[in-house]
Chain A
Amino acid sequence: MKRRDFIYLTGLGTAAALMPGIPVVGKPIALEQTLEGVDPAKKKQMADVALNAARSAGATYTDVRIGRYLNQYVITREDKVENIVNTESYGMGIRVIANGSWGFAATDNLDNDSIAKTAALAVTIAKENSKILTEPVQLAPQKGYGEVTWKAPIEKNAFEVPIKEKVDLLLAVNDAAMKGGADYINSYLFLVNEQKYFASTDGSYIDQDIHRIWPTFFITKIDKQSGKFETRNALSAPMGMGYEYLNARPQDKIKGITTLYKGRYDMLEDARLGAQQAGEKLTAKSVEPGKYDLILDPSHLWLTIHESVGHPSELDRVLGYEANFAGTSFLTLDKWESKKFNFGNKNVNIVADKTQVGSLGAVGYDDEGVQCKEWDVVKDGILVNYQAIRDQAHILGLKESQGCCYADNWSSVQFQRMANISLRPGKEKKSIDDLIRNVKKGIYIIGDGSFSIDQQRYNFQFGGQLYYEIKDGKIAGMLKDVAYQSNTQEFWNSCAGIADQSDYRLGGSFFDGKGQPPQSSAVSHGSSTAHFTGVNVINTSRNIG
């Protein structure tokens, strides 16, 4: 992603400080335009122009991505609509191999002449790069699929829902929070539709339609006397779904100390509860630092999985391709080769899955034309695999790519991005209450909060939204100022139990950043509630006068 393509929400007042760095990709367009598509036959014709021009210029491999990326963001606070953003980004990215090197160029001018010039520029860049080449690109073989299509199985296209309905929902959510005692609420609805066309010299012409949705809010409650404030963020998950995500049915709710959501989300109810809980946080007990057992809800645990399992098992990080930015990984190849590296204990089974229905990462084919699938990364605690793309597959002795290639825009070059990485649920029948019952001294954490991890993914620190003290198997009241610090391998080896399949839920990241220039991707992480023993908890309260 190029810097100029980010329309920063930081221009939008108070809300910005609460959600820094959220990119809006592309240019504003009229509402009705979001429903128009581009004819695949036209896209095939344009792709062929690029494939032929690159071949003539000396490319030995070419892929072309024609992307139309639609975003609609509705942004409100209290009783006001702050902004409605509709953007479209449409253009073509051409990636080639020439003289054994990659080259890439992109354009939003899609006449034949411009496409041919862009293809030739990509080849020129590849040839320049080949002068200092040390490792020629080795692409895993990939069969061509011919002309195929894939559409996300959504029930209701969110772009077809009138803006007024979306605005009314957010304002009702805000009203519920304000009536419940909130001082401020910022609420957001993020909608994305990627219409992607991929063509390559392998003989694939792939047309795909992908939808994502994320409703969320931030509630602030202030104690005017002390000047202290507390916040409570939404417990929603971003999903690879249509507008149906906002229509929660009774079976989508898990009732407990707060309502948790499974597959569908009741934003109004969560805002009501959120306002009340933000108030409770003001008077909650500040945590005593020390060792605790943690019971982690999937609305929290997804982020720990993302940072401590998802990123270190990305093969490009292991190999050093991300060394200058996100970093490398402690999961070095020798640990995988040994076939006995205890990433976690026997309870820990981690799966990579690019096909999971409703997940953010689900697609039919990745951005280098590989059909998507599922595979194990950690089995019975042992590291057994990574996440790879076509030019890395040979390093693992794989005959084909695992389909993890993604670019966030036509103008960005595709590279290895995280598949949905999830913790398999426990095999024995076990509920959240069963887990809590086994804890003498612990903390039950719901919702994601502060997060930070080192550049090789050993040392991490996480906060949450809601913290409840557990004493002798029972919830004893709310806590605040909680963060836990651990080491990835120690943490996953302290997993004492995981609730069963009936508790399994997805969480995820709508804007996961990686690469230079930085690109954003969306990825889900599923789990059931899990129990970890003896984790170091710190107190985060400070005084600045």
Chain B
Amino acid sequence: MAILSKEEAKRILEKVISFSKADGIEANLNGADNGNIRYARNSVSTSGEDSNISLAVQSYFGKKSGSATINEFDDASLEKVVRRAEELARLAPENPEFMEPLPQQTYGESKTWSESTAKITPDYRAQAAADSINPASKKDITAAGYLEDSRNFAAMMNSKGLYAYNQSTGVDFTVTMRSNDGTGSGWVARNFNDVSKLNTSEASAIAIDKALMSRNAKAIEPGKYTVILEPSAAGDLINLMLSNMNARQADEGRSYLSKKGGGTKLGEKIVDERINIYTDPSHEEVPASPWMGNGLARKKMDLIKGGVVKNLIYDRYWASQKNVEAVPFPGNRIIEGGTASLEDMIKDTKKGILVTRFWYIRPVDPQTLLYTGLTRDGTFYIENGKIKHPIKNFRFNESPVIMLNNLEQLGKQMRVSTGGFGGGGSSLIPYMKIRDFTFTSLSDAV
């Protein structure tokens, strides 16, 4: 079991700090138990579990620092890792950007742990997969899916008196359902801290419906269209914009948030005034750790309000250069939505395209935040308030900044994984209707 309690972690870290002979020391103790099951062709392909725990120590003399890590926790090992970090610190070049550790911070209450997720066993995973595969095989559909669950803890302490601890659980589920004739494909994703909210059978039914509905898609001409983006699609593009809110890059003139002639767009309106985006670690639907890895406290904070950039992300060094407070990288993102359901939004659309998700999104131009990518697993043509027929997938070339200036309507929110390797946390994203979304070519892919 790699999950140490707050007290167990504290005892180890206090010992580590007591061994220090340097000007200062900071130690991070992290552990995780993970499990997963993967299936394809209506059968389990791989499944496994792993567990580990490690201690990282950073010691410093002036602006010279060194770090070392160990995964043994007897007294002799703890002292050894501290001595090694000190040796390396003495040998290191001075780092002009080195920042001394933070003093004790005040953190909000954590809501990231769930007992039900902590208790997951291999038979739960096999059953969850079966609940997804069985309805598929009954409908001439082939299921390929993945369920991953994790239990983590993170603790840090330093010689300035800071101690921080958090434990979290998470579960991610995705499934792709393909019709056996190869002409239809549907997808669904679920992401929770608490696995009791996950129903793989309910989720799989949505993907099966999409697979059946998307068979024999028709090609329509590429061009500019009104689109209704499901939360996964909208989130994947907008989160790329929100991940690029680094203040230093903007100050240096190499960001979409850099201003002509110098400075940043902080305080400027960059998107439609109905766009409000904030982060809040204590949010009930998408809780995040109340602190980030260097000990900075995360608080509720506006990123964009009324379309105006309200905060940029300042690391501690850049904040010290600019005489501002450091701003931690958000642990979650919430885009305020409306009350319209997807059905309402479709009903109000004369001509448009419903997009389930985007795929293979890559940057084209960092200056304008232009991205390219494709639609996937359920793209439908809407006419006079109804889904008319499935359409072939499109490649798009679009900037989330331009897209959020072309906002037509915000619908209900849904929790989605912020995506990418390493799980940038979770986001609450609304359905979005956008006009003049730029599709540049057709794809034959199903």
Contact = CB atoms under 8 A, between A and B. Distances in A.
Interface of A: 1-4, 6, 8, 10-11, 13-14, 16-17, 20-21, 23, 27-31, 80-82, 91, 101-108, 121-122, 124-125, 128-129, 131-135, 167, 183-184, 220, 222, 224-229, 231, 319-325, 327-328, 330, 332, 411, 413, 415, 450-459, 461, 463, 481, 483, 485, 487, 513, 516-518, 536, 538, 540-545
Interface in B229-258: 243-244, 246, 248-249, 252-256, 258
Interface stretch (B46-54, B194-202, B340-348): B46-54
Interface stretch (B13-21, B100-108, B155-163, B359-367): B359-367
A455 B422 contact: no
Given A4-B152, A81-B93, A516-B38, A102 B47 contact: yes
Contacts of B223: none
Given A131-B126, A132-B44, A544-B368, A226 B176 contact: no
A509 B315 CA distance: 30
A459 B46 contact: no
A342 to B, nearest CB: 16
A304 B75 CA distance: 54
B88 interface: yes
Contact of A516 (B148, B258, B422): B148
B368 A455 contact: no
B32 A2 contact: yes
Contact of A17 (B41, B150, B246): B246
A338 B422 CA distance: 42
Given A14-B248, A513-B421, A324 B253 contact: no
A47 B440 CA distance: 54
Given A103-B48, A324-B40, A411-B50, A21 B360 contact: no
Interface stretch (B3-11, B64-72, B275-283): B64-72
Nearest to B187: A324
Nearest to B35: A125
B365 A518 contact: no
A2 B256 CA distance: 32
A201 B401 CA distance: 56
18 contacts: A6-B421, A13-B246, A21-B422, A81-B93, A108-B52, A132-B43, A132-B130, A184-B252, A222-B254, A225-B261, A322-B144, A323-B178, A328-B178, A411-B50, A450-B372, A456-B445, A481-B365, A485-B440
Interface string B73-89: 00000000000100110
B442 A227 contact: no
A453 B376 CA distance: 11
B306 interface: no
Given A125-B48, A454-B376, A320 B41 contact: yes
B116 interface: no
Contacts of B97: 80, 82
A360 B328 CA distance: 37
Nearest to B424: A10
A485 B440 CA distance: 9
B364 A323 contact: no
Contacts of B359: 327, 454-455
- Interface-centre pick from A4, A222, A325, A463 (highest chain B CB count, 10 A): A4
Contact of B69 (A3, A29, A541): A29
A380 B96 CA distance: 58
Given A327-B445, A516-B36, A21 B122 contact: no
A104 B444 contact: no
B134 to A, nearest CB: 8
A177 B444 CA distance: 44
Given A324-B174, A516-B36, 5 more contacts: A1-B421, A121-B49, A322-B40, A459-B445, A544-B401
B441 A103 contact: no
A455 B399 CA distance: 21
A128 to B, nearest CB: 5
A128 B122 contact: yes
B294 to A, nearest CB: 8
B441 A459 contact: yes
A540 B258 contact: no
Interface string B22-52: 0000000010101011101111111111111
Q: Which of B50, B56, B423 has the most chain A CB within a 10 Å cutoff?
A: B50
A125 B122 contact: yes
A542 B370 contact: yes
A182 B223 CA distance: 38
Contacts of A31: 88
B205 interface: no
A487 B443 CA distance: 8
Interface in B245-304: 246, 248-249, 252-256, 258-262, 270, 293
Given A454-B393, A516-B36, A220 B254 contact: yes
A452 B258 CA distance: 26
Contact of B367 (A21, A228, A485): A228
Nearest to B207: A324
A455 B315 contact: no
B71 A458 contact: no
A193 B129 CA distance: 37
Contacts of A220: 252, 254
Contact of A184 (B71, B152, B254, B260): B254
A101 to B, nearest CB: 7
Nearest to B52: A108
Nearest to B95: A81
B36 A517 contact: yes
Given A28-B56, A81-B93, A135 B41 contact: yes
B440 A538 contact: yes
Nearest to A411: B50
A543 B270 CA distance: 12
B369 interface: yes
B45 A321 contact: yes
Contact of A23 (B144, B175, B421): B421
Instruction: Identify which of A104, A231, A411, A516 gathers the most chain B CB atoms within 10 Å of its CB.
Output: A516
A515 B262 CA distance: 43
Given A17-B244, A459-B445, A513-B421, A452 B373 contact: yes
Nearest to B259: A227
Can you list the 3 inter-chain pairs with the closest CB atoms, starting with the nearest? Answer: A227-B260, A323-B144, A459-B443
A413 B48 contact: yes
B446 interface: yes
B395 A11 contact: no
B395 A226 contact: no
B136 to A, nearest CB: 12
A29 B252 contact: no
Contacts of B95: 80-81
A3 to B, nearest CB: 5
Nearest to B294: A11
A536 B395 CA distance: 14
B208 to A, nearest CB: 14
A67 to B, nearest CB: 13
A133 B30 CA distance: 36
Contacts of A102: 44-47
Nearest to B261: A227
A122 B122 CA distance: 10
Nearest to A10: B329
B56 A27 contact: yes
A456 B49 contact: no
